[in-house]
Amino acid sequence: MQAPRPRIDTRRHLLRAGAAAAVVGAWAGASQGATRTRPIVIQFSHVVSAETAKGRAALHFKALAEERTGGRVRVEVYPDSTLYKDREELEALQMGAVQMLAPSLSKLSALGIGDFEVFDLPFLFRDQAAFRAVVDGELGTRMLQRLAPLGLQGLAYWDNGFKVFTANRPIQGPADVRGLRVRVQASRTLVEQMRILGAQVSVSPLANVYESLRTGQLDGQENVPSNIHSQRLHEAQSHLCVTRHGYLAYAVLTHRRFWERLPDDIRAHLQSALRDATRFANQIAEAENHQALARIVASGRVTVFTPPPKQLRRWREALAPVDAATRAWIDPQLAAAFRRAGGAVP
Ligand code: LMR
């Protein structure tokens, strides 16, 4: 069952968490002894609706984890930014105030690893299978290993899918983005991508996007159809262009010390629950986005345009300068390796 949706004063919560973080080692160690009497609690915070692939996968993980550990672990899932918004959730995890997150890969560069924005380079992956091959291979493993010195443990990659553009005016080719005020996630690469298209860029948490679009502070944004539909962004937009220009996916993260200090059998059960939840997330992600797009079309609120190959080429050409513009924080060799492995049309 999904946890209730408390509106938590996150500042106060983080301050309290600061104190908790100071004792995280003792607490995590103590948890080994505590398992017989009270369950180990995993607070799993995320920022999207419980009905999205990520939301459903988090609940699936909860069900499997609780069942396989015979109730020795309790997983509390907090969807839709009810516990923390984008940036706060990473701080909370580092402090030990929550134990699991699944932030988008774009947001990990806020931890000081600019290379994570390699995932934001436009037209990088040919399809979902190409994305999986990359993250399940050496490149994906190496990226997760880079989180260890920050006290974080990367446990898995969860798919979402390809992003599209929406706006409050017709949008078919890259020139239509010029002058629009658009929202992106906190990624310099996404900011650069929008600047190259001539947009005015605004970085904001997902939780604020609907209101900014509704009140006209923003004209447009990019996201996957399942987020657009579940956050009701299409209700504040008139046009959608199926560009599939970037890929949105997640890293499932935990606090390293918490993870290492779990009893071995519990950790093994959680790993197996996560393996199955990952398979589940990746199986449903593409279908969820198809269904969301169909619902957006059926709502009759938005004109949906799917660019023909010639038009798509224009998008690719317009966004080609992003690789060069992001060299200061994405290692060009890493970008080249991702481009080769991603197999996108050159
Ligand atoms: C966004 O902020 O648009 C996405 O990262 C949200 C998500 O987690 O899918």
pLDDT at 47 (0 to 100): 95
- Judged against a pLDDT cut of 60, whether residue 50 lies above it is answered with yes
How far apart (Å, rounded) are the C-alpha atoms in residues 230 and 334? Answer: 34
pLDDT band of 344, cuts 50, 70, 90: confident
pLDDT at 251 (0 to 100): 98
pLDDT at 37 (0 to 100): 72
Question: What DSSP designation does 3 have?
Answer: P
Strand order from edge to edge, sheet including 40-45: 73-78, 40-45, 100-101, 247-255, 152-162
- Judged against a pLDDT cut of 90, whether residue 12 lies above it is answered with no
The proportion of the chain whose per-residue pLDDT surpasses 90, expressed as a percent, equals 87
pLDDT digits (tens, 9 = 90+) for 238-271: 999 999 999 999 999 999 999 999 999 999 999 9
pLDDT digits (tens, 9 = 90+) for 199-208: 999 999 999 9
Q: How far is the CA of 305 from the centre of ligand 1 (A)?
A: 23
DSSP tally for the chain: helices H, then strands E:
14, 11
- How many Å separate Cα 119 from the centre of its chain? 11
Q: Which atom of ligand 1 is nearest to the CA of 227?
A: 9
Around ligand 1, the residues with Cβ closer than 6 Å are 47-48, 104, 160, 185, 206, 223, 227, 248
Q: Which atom of ligand 1 is nearest to the CA of 103?
A: 8
The proportion of the chain whose per-residue pLDDT surpasses 70, expressed as a percent, equals 89
- Judged against a pLDDT cut of 80, whether residue 136 lies above it is answered with yes
Which residue is it, tokens 């298209």?
197
pLDDT band of 36, cuts 50, 70, 90: low
Q: Which atom of ligand 1 is nearest to the CA of 221?
A: 3
Q: What average pLDDT does the structure give for the chain?
A: 91
Please compute the mean of the pLDDT values over residues 74-103 and round it to a whole number.
Answer: 94
